[in-house]
Structure 1
């Protein structure tokens, strides 16, 4: 859902009969909905059952995809994309379920495998969208997405066991409303500021109101007995530094997602573009996600031997080396292919490490909320990257040979920003306190073997 519309984004004004100023909301709506829903879904999963909440989100995803498949105007499409974005909460819930139901010896490799599917889904979304856009009606994209969501729902119902690990309590309605309003304000300002202008009254109004609401929300969460997000737990060294490193890694990931497709597709007359078709460019980028999947057993083995912290340090180092190489080698498609595969390796290691680090530092009853907050931090990193990279490339626009596009200098600045984000992630990872092994944080073996509640007498 995050990448499925990227290849046809320039065509959205024509496809939806809307202005180019309004169609970016189709992308922004998904981003904001995902950021808001993810930590809330994690808390609801801790309270009412992670499997139950994940299945509800998958149904919302299916409904949103069907609505999008039936839409040809802007407003229904935005509503559909909001519903699709809410399904992002399934990812941290799924990772949290692993801790509740798997034996400790299988936990690290399982987290790595599920984390890697993020990259596989994103990588498959690009060529799928490109092929459909060039050969079929674009609505087919969403019929496929609806089928995948319903299949996932059925597999959850049949295969995934219900967890008995719960954190019962009162639902923090005020906390949900405060977090939602604050995030909406900040993320809309960040994602639309480049288009509106950073000094525009709308940008400032959304940004200032969002920050003020989030500050008030934080004060409230510290005082309430059963908060939506336990900020005291989030302030622990391991959790805090892992979340900050997640912001940096999210930035590094998104910077490449913006630069490489444009480098591959810009006409060669520009002197920087490689002139590939939409489908071929998507196929060049797809192996990155497969590299993430291939790294999952390696990441699991390393996590068992060394713990999750070295995974994050190593992943950030690989990403930094990849961006450094991209600054020099970007003139042939095979160079971008190799660099992007290396980025996939680094992201695979880092994404496997972050949930493991979080779960090593929080109680089992707060796994869903903690993983949801970590996923929010990654989303925040990609949101900031979208705003910053968009502004840099927009400022570097030039015309060469009758083709208007970003200059080589703009691309180099963006790659340098990705390198800086990877180095920042590396530094933060180095200073994360060494956590206990994730297996030590898992449930006792007798609880894992029989998830049914003990009889009462």
Structure 2
């Protein structure tokens, strides 16, 4: 039963709590990347081992994002939001006090449980917000993921220089602790829940194929793409993935409803997420490296970690502005058009970097365009998925979309690493053509995402649930969507 309306927390207070949680999670995704050499030296480890600080977080977040989202649909999104934020807090505390690389890697696994923050946030927004405010709120929350990624790159250097790398975990720990307490007191209990039990077998199968695939993709470059370990993991993923799909299709209580995944809007948005993630996350990873390449190489700018972060600050600001405006733009033009525009702008920005990267202003201008693209696309993609599924499946649908985008990011980063490092100078720095070819590959990913997004079916208005005209992002035959029946 839904609590009486007058007793429920004001949705703006709820939104503030959700934004703190999403912001903290996104910071933890990116702040560690620029300072891996510092952590390597401080903990007396090697490069191959320290990369597990990123890999462990990637694997854990990928596994737990859809699972926590689904559990939230069943037992209550508010409860699972507190659990996810508590995991981020505990994991950050472990990382902040870690004195060995093993403890730090374990801490990152615990932090990965917090990946469920994003799908839970979308579900709570859909439950609690006035319908006319949902698109804008989801857009802002989704944009915070891109913004947090940019902010992490900007502040990592100054924080480490002024304090130490430990503060890259103390700061998010404080934020998530406050958000967890606030969520426990001020985020209302979920009015919509899915009955039934949690399908543990499906969760294990989902975890198995995700770990096999992402481990092979993320470690293929260092282990060797033809090595027995990588080939074996790919084979395992190829067997486990269809096994999971078949098991879910036959289950009376699936973890992820395959009928929902077959809704045209959902699967085309997920395919777009895969392609878009391949370009976006790879750009986050390699553009700072490009800026930091010594000028002696003939193409780099030789800036410091801090300076490269500041050069990418316009990208972060652009992402936030685009995310805030995305809701209004979607209301006027539709989320599908915003997603196509975001993917097209991504292709434009990466193409610009491919053909013109000799001056700093060229890189800053291109990255700013990418910031606008990321903000628009994140918001539009999330709105399309949330609006296409029944309210009781918002968490798991959003979680799978986020997860597929993460898988795309892992694939894109692996492909880009192979392309960029295919030929090295005697100093060990990639030759300029490696980056040129890498940016061209990202252009291809983005262009493909724009093409797929153009074919996402539009759900046209058939009912008027709020006063005034509705758009594709805010309308649809509720009965038809809820039953999982698709229409073009």
User: Do both proteins adopt the same fold according to a TM-score greater than 0.5, normalized to the shorter chain?
Assistant: yes
Give the aligned partner of residue 250 of structure 1: 277
Residue deviations 1:178-221, cap 9 Å, x none?
10111111110110010000111111122211221121111100
Query: Which residue is equivalent to 1:349?
Result: 376
Equivalent residue number for residue 78 of structure 1: 105
Partner of 2:474: 439
Task: Provide the residue aligned with 1:287 in structure 2.
Answer: 314
1:414 aligns with 2:430: no
Secondary structure at the counterpart of residue 7 of structure 1: helix
1:119 and 1:288 in contact (8 A); partners too: no
The answer to whether the 8 A contact 1:238-1:357 is kept is yes
Kept in 2: contact 1:100–1:442 (CA 8 A): no
Q: What is the aligned counterpart of 1:372 among 394, 399, 402?
A: 399
Evaluate the alpha carbon distance shift between residue 9 and residue 442 of structure 1 in structure 2; reply closer, same or farther with a 3 A threshold: farther
Aligned-partner Cα distance in 1 for 2:379–2:210: 26
CA contact (8 A) 2:89 2:174 kept: yes
Q: Secondary structure at the match of 2:29?
A: coil
CA distance in 1, matches of 2:194, 2:218: 35
Compute the displacement of 1:143 (Å): 1.0
Partner residue of 1:41 out of 44, 53, 68? 68
* TM-score (normalizing by structure 1): 0.93
Spell out the pairing of 1:100-249 with structure 2 (5 A cutoff): 100-249=127-276
Partner SS, residue 229 of structure 1: coil
Tell me how far 1:20 sits from its aligned partner: 2.1
Question: Does 2:450 align with 1:426?
Answer: yes
Tell me by how many angstroms 1:277 deviates.
Answer: 1.4
Q: Secondary structure at the match of 1:406?
A: coil
Greater CA drift, 31-40 or 298-307: 298-307
Q: Distance in 2 between matches of 1:237 and 1:261?
A: 37
Q: Which moved more, 1:5-14 or 1:111-120?
A: 5-14
Q: Any gaps of 5 or more consecutive residues in structure 2?
A: 1-27, 461-471, 480-488
Q: Is the 8 Å Cα contact of residues 143 and 324 (structure 2) preserved in structure 1? A: no
Contact kept in structure 2, 1:357 and 1:435, CA below 8 Å:
no
Maintained 8 Å contact 1:46/1:167: yes
Deviation at 1:106, TM superposition (A): 0.8
Counterparts of 1:120 and 1:155, CA distance in 2: 22
Aligned residues: 441
> Please, which moves more after superposition, 162-171 or 222-231?
162-171
Residue of structure 1 equivalent to 2:428: 404
How well do the aligned residues superpose, as a CA RMSD in angstroms? Answer: 1.6
Q: Residue 4 of structure 1 is aligned with which of 31, 35, 59?
A: 31
Match in the other structure for 1:314 = 341
Q: Which runs of 4+ in 1 moved over 6 A?
A: none
Secondary structure of 1:175's counterpart equals helix
- Partner Cα separation in structure 2 for residue 21 and residue 260 of structure 1: 21
- How far did residue 306 of structure 1 move? 2.3
More divergent stretch after superposition (296-305 vs 311-320): 296-305
Whether the 8 Å contact between 2:147 and 2:316 is mirrored in structure 1 is yes
SS at match of 2:68: helix
Shift of 1:441: 5.8
Q: Distance in 2 between matches of 1:201 and 1:241?
A: 34
Q: Give yes or no for contact 2:354–2:437 (8 Å, CA) kept in 1.
A: no
**TM-score normalised over the length of structure 2:** 0.88
- Aligned mates of 2:73, 2:285 — CA distance in 1: 35
Q: Give the Cα separation in 2 of the matches to 1:300 and 1:319.
A: 19
Q: Is the 8 A contact 2:311 2:364 kept in 1?
A: yes
Report how far residue 155 of structure 1 moved: 2.8
Tell me how far apart the structure 2 counterparts of residues 216 and 12 of structure 1 sit (CA, whole Å): 39
Distance 2:163 2:358 in 1: 32
Matches of 2:80 and 2:67, distance apart in 1: 10
- Please report how far the alpha carbon of residue 394 of structure 1 lies from its aligned counterpart in structure 2 after TM superposition: 2.0
Which of 361, 370, 373 aligns to 2:388? It is: 361
What stretches of structure 1 of length at least 5 have no aligned partner?
A: 445-457
C-alpha contact 1:262 1:273 (8 A) present in aligned 2: no
SS in structure 1 at match of 2:50: coil
2-structure distance, mates of 1:75, 1:171: 31
Q: CA deviation at 1:11?
A: 3.1
Please, which of 229, 249, 259 is the counterpart of residue 286 of structure 2?
A: 259
SS for the counterpart of 1:60 is: helix
Which stretch of structure 1 is more off in the superposition, 262-271 or 241-250? 262-271
The Cα shift of 1:442 comes to: 10
- Partners of 2:322 and 2:375 within 8 A in 1: yes
Of 126-135 and 138-147, deviating more is 126-135
SS class of match (2:31): coil
